[in-house]
């Protein structure tokens, strides 16, 4: 896949997601709304060929927003992060949800946290699934400088409503909770890649009677400083996977990934 109007510095492919017959590709460096304002492209599978369907831009995009730095597509919705947007202060961040309407992708809403502040980097990471969206803000300061957080928004009719702000029960300065996020069913996983001298961790939250409850903290069985376990996460069905790009098993910073299984989230494989 290539962007039909791609040029030098667009960074097309900085983020990707696929669901059914649709794929979305972020291009954080696109300049249509100003230098590095960003864009995202939707591709649709037509037979055996992926065809570019549309180019998405933020309705209020501006230079250096980096719209498209994080993306996900699921069930007729696409969420796109712009973590350097300045609506709540410098680099406070925002996210946009687009909805598939017939053959067109229409911007439905721009999401901002109720307590957003400068340098939070809201939308460092995004995920959307089944009427819920989760958005990471890895430099939020509620549990100390750059401790991080994540926000859950719920679809209520045609509106997306902020439901809860997730914090780690043991969150601390420089943990960067929200550096990665993923949603599936009643579960959310949120990475804190710099927790514990950057050995890293990830937290599982479960939806219980309209409340998101921290259920488990995941740590690598062989964790070590600088592993950055939690730099990337994904959850689907009964399984969660967590990346650790700084793991040294195959040489310095060679990296690894760990799989965990519900309901106890015991380690399956690394």
pLDDT tens, residue by residue, 203-252: 999 999 999 999 999 999 999 999 999 999 999 988 999 999 999 999 99
Structural domains present in the chain: 113-269 (2.120.10.30)
| Burial class (CB within 10 angstroms; exposed 0-12, middle 13-18, buried 19+) of 262 | middle
Counting beta carbons within 10 angstroms of the beta carbon of residue 202, is it exposed (0 to 12), middle (13 to 18) or buried (19 or more)? buried
- Half-sphere exposure at residue 76, Cβ-oriented, CA atoms within 13 angstroms: 9
Q: Which neighbouring-strand residues pair with 212?
A: 207
The per-residue pLDDT for range 130-185, each reduced to its tens digit, is 999 999 999 999 999 999 999 999 999 999 999 999 999 999 999 999 999 999 99
Give the global pTM.
0.95
Q: Given this model, what pLDDT does residue 256 score?
A: 98
DSSP 251: S
C-alpha closest to that of 111 among 141, 70, 171, 74: 70
Q: Which two tokens stand for residue 213?
A: 């409850």
Beta bridge partners of 182: 189
First to last CA, the chain: 31
pLDDT for residue 269 is more than 70: no
Listed in sequence order, the DSSP H helices in the chain are 195-198
Structure tokens at 56: 């998405």
Q: Which of these, 89, 75, 33, lies nearest to 56 by C-alpha position? A: 33
pLDDT in tens, 15-27: 999 999 999 999 9
Write down the mean pLDDT value for the chain. 96
Model confidence band, residue 263 (pLDDT cutoffs 50, 70, 90): confident
């Amino acid at each position: 896949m290539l962007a039909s109007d791609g040029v030098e510095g667009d960074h097309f492919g900085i983020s990707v997601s696929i669901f059914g017959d649709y794929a979305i590709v972020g291009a954080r460096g696109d300049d249509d709304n100003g230098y590095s304002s960003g864009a995202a492209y939707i591709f649709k599978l037509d037979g055996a060929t992926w065809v570019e369907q549309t180019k998405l831009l933020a309705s209020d995009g501006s230079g250096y927003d980096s719209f498209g730095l994080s993306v996900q597509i699921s069930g007729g919705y696409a969420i796109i992060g712009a973590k350097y947007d300045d609506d709540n202060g410098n680099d406070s961040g925002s996210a946009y949800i687009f909805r598939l309407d017939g053959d067109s992708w229409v911007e439905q809403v721009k999401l901002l946290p109720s307590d957003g502040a400068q340098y939070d980097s809201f939308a460092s990471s995004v995920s959307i699934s089944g009427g819920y969206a989760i958005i990471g803000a890895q430099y939020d300061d509620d549990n100390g400088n750059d401790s991080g957080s994540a926000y859950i928004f719920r679809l209520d009719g045609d509106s997306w409503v902020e439901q809860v702000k997730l914090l780690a029960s043991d969150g601390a300065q420089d943990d960067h909770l929200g550096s990665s996020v993923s949603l599936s069913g009643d579960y959310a996983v949120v990475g804190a890649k710099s927790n514990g001298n950057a050995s890293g961790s990830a937290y599982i939250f479960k939806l219980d009677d309209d409340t998101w409850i921290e259920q488990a903290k995941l740590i690598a069985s062989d964790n070590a400083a600088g592993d950055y376990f939690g730099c990337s996460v994904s959850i689907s069905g009964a399984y969660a996977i967590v990346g650790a790009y700084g793991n040294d098993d195959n040489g310095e910073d060679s990296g690894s990934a760990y799989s965990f299984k519900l309901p106890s989230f015991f380690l399956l494989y690394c």
